[in-house]
Amino acid sequence: MTPMTTALTDRQKIRKLPFYIAAMTMNSVFTTLTVFGSVFPLFLADLGLDKARIGVALALIPYATLISPFMAPFVSKWGFRRTFLIVWTIRKFIITAMLLAPAILATAGPDAAFVWVTLCIVGFALCRAAGDTGLLPWTQELVPNDIRGKFMAFENVIVTLAQIAVVALAGFLIDHLTGSARYTTPMGIGVVGGLIGVLLFSLLPGGKPTRQTIDLRAHLAEVRIALGDRNFIFFMSMLTLVTLGSGLSGSFIPLFANEQIGLSPGNVVLLSIGSSAGTLLAALPVGWALDRIGNKPLMWIGLAALLALPLCWLAVPRHAPDSLAFAMGISFVAGIGGATWSMSWSRFLFNAAVPPQHSAVYLSVYYAWSSFVGGSGPLLAGAILTALAPGMSNPYAGLFAISLIPMLIGGGVLGRLRDHEAVSLRHLAGRALRRASRT
């Protein structure tokens, strides 16, 4: 049974959106300085964990999202907002507990430290899965459809700037502190930022329960509706193929830049600045365009950029004075293409693929499957490189070629998506020609 709730007006939503952006910014501070940034693998390596154990630890996070569809009915009953705030708070204390790992290493050895870290990551991953199961439908409710593109653009700019700042801070602390404090200090700062983010999220309205009881039979019926929704399944198939392809080509770009192009590790790290600059440049124009011409034209542009990137990387001069400049330019284009692609498909998800009345179920299915695919891409890429290495001097070329196949198939599926807002590329070209003829 669905409880009666009063729908928020667009005016009420828009007044609270600055708090949402501030909350997401502080959440990005937390994630960048802890489990999703470059600090975390360094922290694990400092504990003496080998690469295999680090890989296992990192894989636990995306794979835990497979429980999301099973949690959706409980989250719907408890309330999206309430569930999110509770588990988002708990996961901060779990990461705080993880900071005890150096002490456990010193007293009980590396195996005990690995077990402790693994338990903390499992707890964090489960909280993340439950929290995002609430956050996604809550976000769909909070942001009006007609300004979603502009809103995503502004949020993207603010969050990217914050990430650049905290990465610089983390680099400074790692260079100037000693021992395990090099990593626990920035991670501790991240936890504080995350708690501030939870406080800001608590100021947002909406996210009320949509069920009075937990009816698993009704939930399974909604899951069947989602799996029988042709447009949603086409969207998920397209996203799976493109995510898999881009993950294959993108996962090992840092190693490719170091081993094949000849960039130093320090210069490889600098490439992220080019990508961030591209994201900042693209975000506002892409958001403006999304609200005016719809999602699919921008999705085509973003996909074209993703297809071009592997070929561009192979064309970079090797061990040359201008290698860094070329690589930085490609990273800049990658930032533009990545922002265009991610913003356009995200807007399509909320505005066209997911009906609001079934948002909890649809978005839990999306979240679980997309996270699984995203986590599988790097593992598959590593296996392909290992298989190609004995017979190729540059196994990355083979990996990049293979990555194009799922992305091209994904483009074929993209053409079959229905988007009531979309303006066809043919119509846009005709409009541009008419404007040119009048000048």
Cα(37)–Cα(16) distance, rounded to whole angstroms?
29
Cα(60)–Cα(126) distance, rounded to whole angstroms?
10
Q: In the block, which residue shows the tokens 């936890």? A: 191
Q: Are the beta carbons of 377 and 247 closer than 8 angstroms?
A: yes
Average pLDDT over residues 36-44: 84
Q: Cα separations (Å) of 317 from 257, 261, 273, 278, 327?
A: 11, 7, 20, 21, 9
C-alpha of 117 from chain center: 23
What tokens were used for 309?
């990137």
Q: 393-416: per-residue pLDDT in tens? A: 889 999 999 999 999 999 999 999
User: What is the band of 258 on the pLDDT scale with cuts at 50, 70, 90?
Assistant: confident
Amino acid letter, residue 18: P
Q: Which of 19-28, 282-291, 371-380, 403-412 has the lowest mean pLDDT?
A: 371-380
- Nearest 5°: CA angle at 206, between 204 and 211? 145
What tokens were used for 373?
């695919």
Q: Cα separations (Å) of 111 from 139, 173, 182, 274, 423?
A: 40, 27, 22, 39, 57
Domains and CATH numbers, the chain: 7-213 (1.20.1250.20), 215-439 (1.20.1250.20)
Query: With pLDDT > 90 as the criterion, what percentage of the chain qualifies?
Result: 60
Cα(126)–Cα(143) distance, rounded to whole angstroms?
26
What does the longest C-alpha to C-alpha distance in the chain come to?
78
pLDDT number for residue 175: 82
Average pLDDT over residues 2-18: 78
Q: Are the beta carbons of 138 and 73 closer than 8 angstroms?
A: no
Average pLDDT over the chain, rounded to whole? 89
**Among the listed residues 165, 171, 198, the one whose alpha carbon sits nearest the alpha carbon of residue 185:** 171
Cα(175)–Cα(169) distance, rounded to whole angstroms?
10
First-to-final CA distance of the chain: 60
Where is mean pLDDT largest: 79-83, 256-260, 363-367, 423-427? Answer: 79-83
What tokens were used for 340?
């265009």
User: What is the band of 237 on the pLDDT scale with cuts at 50, 70, 90?
Assistant: very high
User: What is the band of 238 on the pLDDT scale with cuts at 50, 70, 90?
Assistant: very high
Cα(289)–Cα(295) distance, rounded to whole angstroms?
9
Answer yes or no: is pLDDT of 210 > 80: yes
Q: Which of 120-124, 208-212, 332-336 has the lowest mean pLDDT?
A: 208-212
Q: Are the beta carbons of 73 and 211 closer than 8 angstroms?
A: yes
Q: Cα separations (Å) of 316 from 263, 272, 328?
A: 11, 17, 10
Q: Are the beta carbons of 175 and 269 closer than 8 angstroms?
A: no
What tokens were used for 311?
């070929």
Cα(242)–Cα(408) distance, rounded to whole angstroms?
8
Answer yes or no: is pLDDT of 87 > 90: yes
Answer yes or no: is pLDDT of 189 > 70: yes
Q: Phi, psi at residue 212, to the nearest 5°? A: -95, -25
Instruction: List for the chain the helix, strand, coil content (%; round to 5).
Output: 85, 0, 15
Residues, the chain: 439
Q: Are the beta carbons of 201 and 83 closer than 8 angstroms?
A: no
Cα(169)–Cα(183) distance, rounded to whole angstroms?
12
Answer yes or no: is pLDDT of 433 > 80: no
Q: Are the beta carbons of 385 and 397 closer than 8 angstroms?
A: no
Crossing angle of helices 323-348 and 296-314, in 10° steps, is 160
Indicate the helix (H) or strand (E) that contains 373: helix 359-388
Q: Which of 122-131, 200-209, 241-250, 421-430 has the lowest mean pLDDT?
A: 421-430
What residues have CB less than 8 Å from 219, skipping those under 6 apart? Answer: 72, 73, 361
pLDDT number for residue 385: 87
Q: Are the beta carbons of 368 and 136 closer than 8 angstroms?
A: no
C-alpha of 267 from chain center: 24
